[in-house]
Amino acid sequence: GAVVSQHPSWVICKSGTSVKIECRSLDFQATTMFWYRQFPKQSLMLMATSNEGSKATYEQGVEKDKFLINHASLTLSTLTVTSAHPEDSSFYICSAREWGTENIQYFGAGTRLSVL
């Protein structure tokens, strides 16, 4: 149980284009999902907290207009990197917390974004 699927696993795009990343909880309902960014050999940095049916809460320094988050259902959250630039190249990982259980976050496999 507690499987989180993230898609795509790898994406290459041109500078200026937008990229959407999906995060799905496959076998549980996730009222809260989290989006992280991980630079090489560094730890996970929380970008935003996504709550189903409401606006995401962004961490300090994260641009809301650049990283659009939508949590339209209890099993799906999306992160859209708008007008991507090379400095947005990174590893993005989502996690989901199951409603009514211990606050354990289960992670997706991550998406490697390369912006040319």
Partner 1 sequence: EDKVVQSPLSLVVHEGDTVTLNCSYEVTNFRSLLWYKQEKKAPTFLFMLTSSGIEKKSGRLSSILDKKELFSILNITATQTGDSAVYLCAVEIGTASKLTFGTGTRLQVTL
Binding site for partner 1 (CB under 8 A): 2, 4, 6, 9, 32, 34, 42-46, 49, 57, 93, 95, 97, 102-110
CB 56 → partner 1: shortest distance, Å? 12
How distant, in Å, are the alpha carbons of 54, 79, 81, 88, 116 from that of 35?
Answer: 15, 8, 12, 14, 23
Least distance to partner 1, CB of residue 69, Å: 15
- Residues for the chain: how many in total? 116
CB closer to partner 1 out of 4 and 76: 4
Q: What b/e readout covers 78-112, taking b as 16+ CB neighbours within 10 angstroms?
A: bbebeebeeebbbbbbbbbbbeeeeeebbbbebbe
Q: Which is nearer to partner 1, 82 or 91 (CB)?
A: 91
- Cβ distance to partner 1 smaller for residue 6 or 75: 6
Which two three-digit tokens encode residue 4? 């989180």
Question: How distant is the alpha carbon of residue 76 from its chain centre?
Answer: 10
Least Å distance, CB 77 to partner 1, is: 15
- Choose between 89 and 105: whose C-beta lies nearer to partner 1: 105
